[in-house]
Structure 1
């Protein structure tokens, strides 16, 4: 199968992914269940690698850090250390990570507040509104939807497990190279005319190569702002539709 390298700007770093998992599973940031979060984090990283997405080495460094913390919490302390150490001041292997996460969350919330203030301030003018349409860009007027890349990865994981469960134990696989541009055009054709489709409906074929190319085609269409995605509720079905103003194929 052809190799595709897709870089998506939605990746903000390993701490952002950890916060996403903490919020998703509604756990206390000061009492992180390291085993559960580590397993989920590694699942996301493995999925990124399987899809051949361009991920930074810092994701792998964080994976190693989580595994080290998990190991420290699983290994029993030596009896001598337990006798010498005051239980009230027992060092928690998670302390440094928690401090980094809290600080990152603080800066992220501050950035969101500044962005809201910037948006509010942009609505204020010192003179009557003027026609500035010739200076505006299409990106300023529309968005790609409220679905994050993490939501897309989670949906792909769910789809992969479903296909794997239905796949026969023995099968003959024929390797066929599928140009990503062809899949992008096919998806555009399915969405033209204002039609909405469920994310799962795009995977009409169970072939692994077809699934990966389809997923990467959707990411490229989101990146080029040809399509938008929305999700009504957490863990709900992701809907994909063509953005207004885009020419049909």
Structure 2
């Protein structure tokens, strides 16, 4: 199997990251291998977590969307009396592809404007009406006034620096994976809302969700979501069962 390596970069949003993965792997927009893209996407988010960087919520939503598309593509096609239904089925990737195509258009336009701004010689400005500036400008401030202003700026900067406090997260994806597996040993299933019930911060909820996605990817658990934005049912994986989103 061909392996794809993704260099960690900073992306403006989930579509920026997706488009980067598609271009890097020279993938046709009309035939996106969701499994490959999902694995690389999750690897990027996991790397951010390992570096103690915050993961924006829109990246998590996109990860859930990719997982849902993958689940739909894995579902067996409906059959009737031993014959496959002869009807045009909607590709689960269609909506995502449409948005990516639109994103590509805007990206090209933005790049065009960026290049135009670099070429200053192609633009002309009307000359200023000011022909002469007197270099001798009187300042009605004494050296003492300037010194006081300087001290005021310094005190403000010091106050801002004292307000900054960085705390290292007490929770990691690995710990949440262990916690989830222990809970599933005690009971056959649980809801995602139960898992995050005692979460103390938004970051802890995000880590819990990434842990669920990672275990689904490793075929350790099954995650089912009956309605969009509904609660997620989590069960231990058993042979013969398939993930549904």
Fold-level similarity (TM above 0.5)? no
Superposition TM-score, scaled by structure 2 size: 0.44
Superposition TM-score, scaled by structure 1 size: 0.43
